[in-house]
């Protein structure tokens, strides 16, 4: 089983619909992140959480919200999807402190029509 | 806005050649510089990383060169193979926050 699992893998939704992307991890990491990947723009941070009671906005949080249901679960919601939210979304985890990179999930490809 | 500028956007290399991808940053408060490799349909995976107190780190065919005074770092892939064909991202971690800023990515194609 993957260390970081994202569901769904692909999703097509209509403008104005609410959608939730889910992420669960078996790494035991406290820190979890949501990134968005767009061609030519790289990976941009949407939200991050350093523990269950800690939620922080990233550089592009407008139009998104998150919920940290447990140490292992971090969900991203689009309250009212719009076409420019069409992108590849990645969840990532990292341990606290030290020189460690991220462990990424396999991504959710979201299309808003 | 903190930025990490990555170049080139795409790169084609012959099998056995050397692939070189460059990144430059502005914020001197970055304290850790990883490179990620991403294959189609997969999430980025940590490839190799370096701290700013080291000028070079080598792991197999992959080497990071780091120039602190110029605020630049690069990834060198020696003896490039078709299996290295992927998108590569550089990143920089903002010290004290453990957040990473990513470059825009380089799509590498190694011709057989």
Q: Name the minimum distance, in Å, from the CA of B111 to any CA of chain A.
A: 23
Reply yes or no on whether the pLDDT at A15 is more than 90.
yes
User: A54-63, A99-108, B69-78 — which is least confidently predicted?
Assistant: A99-108
Contact criterion met (CB < 8 Å) for B9 and A40: yes
How many angstroms separate the CA atoms of B67 and A101, rounded? 21
Could you tell me which residue, A34 or B97, shows the higher pLDDT? Answer: A34
Closest residue in B to A90 (Cα) is B43
Q: Which of B21, B43, B51 best probes binding to A when mutated, by most A CB atoms within 10 angstroms?
A: B43
Q: In terms of Cα–Cα distance, which of A48, A42, A36 is closest to A84? A: A36
Query: Using alpha carbons only, what angle is made at residue A21 by residues A44 and B102, rounded to the nearest 5 degrees?
Result: 15
Contact criterion met (CB < 8 Å) for A101 and B46: yes
Q: Is A84 exposed, middle or buried (0-12, 13-18, 19+ CB in 10 A)?
A: exposed
- Residue B8: how many CB atoms within 10 A of its CB? 12
Looking at beta carbons, which residues of chain B come within 8 Å of A31?
Answer: 98
Give the residue carrying structure tokens 């990143």.
B91
Reply yes or no on whether the pLDDT at B96 is more than 80.
no
Closest residue in B to A97 (Cα) is B98
Q: Which residues pair with A87 in a beta bridge?
A: A110
The 3-state DSSP class for residue A42 equals strand
The 3-state DSSP class for residue B43 equals coil
Contact criterion met (CB < 8 Å) for B44 and A40: no
Contact criterion met (CB < 8 Å) for A101 and B36: yes
DSSP-derived secondary structure letter, A12: E
How many angstroms separate the CA atoms of B17 and B84, rounded? 11
Question: Given A40, A99, A107, which is nearest B104 (Cβ)?
Answer: A40
Q: To the nearest whole percent, how much of chain A has pLDDT over 70? A: 98
Q: To the nearest whole percent, how much of chain B has pLDDT over 70? A: 98
How many angstroms separate the CA atoms of A35 and B95, rounded? 19
Q: A48-83 burial string, b = 16+ CB within 10 Å, else e?
A: bbbeeeebeebebbeebbbebeeebebbbebeebee
Looking at beta carbons, which residues of chain B come within 8 Å of A50?
Answer: 98
Q: Which of B23, B98, B101, B103 best probes binding to A when mutated, by most A CB atoms within 10 angstroms?
A: B98
- Contacts of residue B82, defined as CB under 8 A and 6 or more positions apart, other chains included, come to B15, B110, B111, B112
């Amino acid at each position: 089983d993957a260390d970081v699992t994202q569901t769904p893998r692909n999703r097509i939704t209509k403008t104005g619909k609410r959608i939730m992307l889910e992420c669960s991890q078996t790494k035991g990491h406290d820190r979890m992140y949501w990134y968005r990947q767009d061609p030519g723009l790289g990976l941009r941070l949407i939200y991050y959480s350093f523990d269950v009671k800690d939620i922080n906005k990233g550089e592009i949080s407008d139009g998104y919200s998150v919920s940290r249901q447990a140490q292992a679960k971090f969900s991203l919601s689009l309250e009212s999807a719009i076409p420019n939210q069409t992108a590849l979304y990645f969840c990532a985890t990292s341990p606290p402190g030290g020189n460690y990179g991220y462990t990424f999930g396999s991504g959710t490809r979201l299309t808003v029509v | 806005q903190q930025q990490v500028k990555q170049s080139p956007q795409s790169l084609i290399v012959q099998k056995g050649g050397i692939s070189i991808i460059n990144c430059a940053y502005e914020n001197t408060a970055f304290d850790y510089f990883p490179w990620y490799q991403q294959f189609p349909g997969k999430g980025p995976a940590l490839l190799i990383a370096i701290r700013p107190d080291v000028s070079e780190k080598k792991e197999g065919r992959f080497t990071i060169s780091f120039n602190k005074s110029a605020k630049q770092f690069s990834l060198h892939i020696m003896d490039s193979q078709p299996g290295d064909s992927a998108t590569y991202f550089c990143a920089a971690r903002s010290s004290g926050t453990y957040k990473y800023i990513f470059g825009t990515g380089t799509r590498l194609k190694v011709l057989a």
